[in-house]
Structure 1
């Protein structure tokens, strides 16, 4: 029987608990192999691409040492190897320090603090914060908390913009406002971070970001004829129909409704509190009309625990949040059946409510209490997007 080889070929192990090189070396008494796990600080490198390069280099180094007689059972030789690994670890830490930068959430905090330090108008800061809240939600939902600002790309930002444009029913104007803010945000962050680390390099280039045409119709409102056809189909799905009613009667954004809890509904004061950052315009109060009151009572919402979401898991009242596209998936077959294109969205029911109220003679100021607009100019821009005019040439003119 031949003698056993001194060691088995070392292999890289990429385990959840950490990466290391597994080395099986023959025991001094030849009774079998002992496994050694050599990491050398490789798990300090968070970028997986860089970590792969480093551990491959360590494997190559180890193989060379083994060929030259390295034996982990001999302390003096092991110490030599450990010293070499320690030097490698220090170089890794140094490289990581040189390449380190602010993560996205830290960058957003730095930006906000800088805005206040420069004494920007409170209205400007408030607007920026509404944009930032959307970015934060996207970061957390897509597990990008550890991404560094310097590593962000145009592709990442387009993913953010397109996700909210489609799932949150953004208008072209809202999309464009966020796109322009991203240019401001990353331009400023680059200057701020370079003050701390002059060697930092940013990958992102927003010079090619394309804006939506302002007149592009998105979230088309439902004319009475179309609305009636859709409602007949909605009646077959009570949960979906209730969700549409919530959008219509409250004029809340789908995201606001998705994160609405029972504790936010005050029937005595007849108002609902939409809490920032779930609300686009920050904390605001939504009046409860008779129709919305009837809907709340029919769903027996006030009898539920205060922490229950109105539309939670399974798109029913629950203590757990629902996912973003649950109702959109259920709504699509209705649109397909009726031949409606993707401009007819769930969010379009909010616009339908606004159009109906204006056509019924409610004033702009009254409707603004529902939409959440804080100034008349932005509301007028919103009306122009809907192409709503409730007065001109709608009455009797001149007979021929």
Structure 2
């Protein structure tokens, strides 16, 4: 830990600030470029922008060679890991007051300050004996001073996990956060079962520690879950780094293992006809759900996010909420428009697809809706003898491949893919090409003549 911070920690909160000397400037607090005294008059947006910036204490000290006042390293003291003005400013005010005192006592960033440190410690020890009571340090011991690129901290395991999860809950969707929290808590539990405690320093977790954990996840759950755990842990440690709690995110140095993705198979025309015929007699709601996949090419979770108000019949538009993206607008093709019943009498805020019906109140998360319709389709698969290689996604693969092959009969490959991108929603040509290869949409013509 830097010598300046050890000195700051020794200063009593009630010691009066003495007059400044000419060889240094008065320490000041930078508060994101706004006047802290006008905080209540700032808009929410202005306050948010200020809190996005690092706050710190800064001062100048006269350089022994040039004789000029030179800007010294900013002192942040970990204040920026707090996202509210009150906590952040409270810490920095204490740092400013303490800095003023040690500067007045003779602290010099260009000299050895060990004698000053010893003097202050002895003075405070004498004060303690006189008062027969311990001095309460106002600088929290779980914070740090950042000097250049060196980060020192004694933030405990429990505090670090609580902080990250609190921050992530505010920026992630509910379903994403639930999965993220589950993986992070599994890692926390593993640490506690392998020699760590809630009071362990967060910096005691080393790269080797995480590699050991990920190897265990690989053995128990496979490559995909191991990689997912690595991704979330990287996000976890990056948040700690962004909040000045650790110096670096070493998870980025841990490799991602190559995994062979499991993709649902496309349906044959016979299988497709059997499914549609069966559902026409047994479950018209599930059939319409599937037609939204086939004709609008929506993913099951996107359909589960649809509300009545997102269906604009007059303008033939769908307003789709995509994960972590702005609302996407898609057309409703005529073939699907004919299948949608009159929705005028439904509550516009109700989900389009509710349990076994349309437009009814259904107070469950979108992921639970998706699980429900997935289970409903599994019952259909079981009836028709379809195995786990087929799922709701199979309809999307089937119809994209069907459209590609029809377009390919009349246009050049580039034009076909350009037209198809508008329909499927892929954001890049290479992404679409990879997808088409994975679902075997691009098949050659009969090449028998080449074999003769």
TM interval, short-chain normalised: 0.5 to 0.7
Residue 212 of structure 1 pairs with residue 212 of structure 2: no
- Take 2:227 and 2:268, find their aligned partners in 1: how far apart are those partners? 28
Distance 1:258 1:360, change over 3 A: same
* Aligned twin of 2:43: none
* Aligned twin of 1:378: 431
* Aligned twin of 2:445: 393
Aligned residues: 263
Residue 262 of structure 1 deviates from its aligned partner by 1.4
Residue 269 of structure 1 deviates from its aligned partner by 2.9
- Take 1:211 and 1:225, find their aligned partners in 2: how far apart are those partners? 35
* Aligned twin of 1:286: 330
Q: Deviations over 1:239-272 (max 9, x none)?
A: 1111111111111111110110111122333221
- Take 1:397 and 1:338, find their aligned partners in 2: how far apart are those partners? 38
Contact 1:246 1:292 in 2 (8 A): yes
| 2:394 aligned to which of 340, 348, 358 | 348
* Aligned twin of 1:101: 160
* Aligned twin of 1:226: 271
Structure 2 length as normaliser, TM-score? 0.48
5+ residue gaps, structure 2, are 1-141, 143-153, 191-212, 409-415
* Aligned twin of 2:283: 237
- Take 2:334 and 2:448, find their aligned partners in 1: how far apart are those partners? 33
* Aligned twin of 2:28: none
Residue 224 of structure 1 deviates from its aligned partner by 0.5
* Aligned twin of 2:377: 331
5+ residue gaps, structure 1, are 1-92, 113-131, 163-171
* Aligned twin of 2:360: 318
- Take 2:382 and 2:182, find their aligned partners in 1: how far apart are those partners? 37
SS in 2 for 1:227: helix
* Aligned twin of 2:114: none
Q: How does 1:123-202 map to 2 (within 5 A)?
A: 133=173, 136-140=174-178, 144=181, 151=188, 181-182=231-232, 184-193=234-243, 195-196=244-245
| 1:365 aligned to which of 415, 418, 429 | 418
Residue 303 of structure 1 deviates from its aligned partner by 3.7
Contact 2:285 2:356 in 1 (8 A): no
SS in 1 for 2:160: coil
Tell which deviates more after alignment, 101-110 or 220-229.
101-110
Structure 1 length as normaliser, TM-score? 0.53
- Take 1:331 and 1:189, find their aligned partners in 2: how far apart are those partners? 40
Distance 1:263 1:186, change over 3 A: same
- Take 1:151 and 1:288, find their aligned partners in 2: how far apart are those partners? 46
- Take 1:175 and 1:292, find their aligned partners in 2: how far apart are those partners? 37
Residue 252 of structure 1 pairs with residue 298 of structure 2: yes
Q: Deviations over 1:335-381 (max 9, x none)?
A: 12222111100121111110111122262223222322111111111
Residue 388 of structure 1 deviates from its aligned partner by 1.4
Contact 1:220 1:348 in 2 (8 A): yes
- Take 2:249 and 2:431, find their aligned partners in 1: how far apart are those partners? 38
* Aligned twin of 1:270: 316
SS in 2 for 1:286: strand
- Take 1:304 and 1:231, find their aligned partners in 2: how far apart are those partners? 26
Provide the alpha-carbon RMSD of the alignment: 4.6
- Take 1:315 and 1:306, find their aligned partners in 2: how far apart are those partners? 15
